[in-house]
Copies of this chain bind each other. A is one copy, B any other.
Amino acid sequence: MKKQDPIQAQLIAARRSQILEAATKVFAEKGFHRATIKDVAKAADIADGTIYNYFENKTALLLGLLDRLNETPHREEHFSQASKMKLGDWVRGYIHERYETLGTQGFDIFQIMLSEILVNPELRELYSQQVIQPTYALAKRYFQKWMKEGSVKEIDPALTMRAISGMFLGVVMLRLMGDPELKTRWDEMPDVMAEIILNGLTEDSDG
């Protein structure tokens, strides 16, 4: 009431950012459960109680992180370029981009998030609604277009999408689980995955 709403809103957003920043760092280091609110507060250089002025509880910090991850991605943009490219290039590009958004610290926090998602229904639901479903919806449109064009075989789009996004997710999981090969040769994965997705393992004529 005292200050103008827009400025207020900015301050609030800034403080929330500051807290989420700290949370990202602390959670990535110690994991969600081992990290305490005090840890986060210290990292953000504020008092414990202040966190509760911006987040309902500890779990809400995770939800906040999720929201944040979601601000970045330009999924739609990438899909929209599909029509302009050869399918192969597009797939490689897509994988690349998807994996780039994870970037360094992204892995750590994605690891924490996945761990909690597996165990926390609320978070799971949110992730489903905010990340998975929208992606499927988007992908479906293009998939159908490709099928009509004949650049993609006539197969069940729903399950195929799940197999493919499963591959993305699973490869990340394997890396998160510490596979050294994946860590070292991470940059080669998009090509490998794209090749499998597009052409499979067998020579052209097999079945």
Contacts and interface: CB of A to CB of B under 8 A. Distances in A.
A192 B112 CA distance: 30
Contacts of A167: 163, 166-167, 170
Given A196-B200, A200-B198, A204-B204, A173 B166 contact: yes
Given A118-B177, A128-B177, A197 B192 contact: no
A179 to B, nearest CB: 7
A7 interface: no
Interface string A178-207: 110110010011001101111111111111
A63 interface: no
Nearest to A116: B115
Interface residues of A, number: 65
A202 B151 contact: yes
Closest 7 CB pairs of A and B: A170-B170, A166-B170, A166-B171, A200-B200, A169-B170, A115-B118, A167-B167
A23 to B, nearest CB: 16
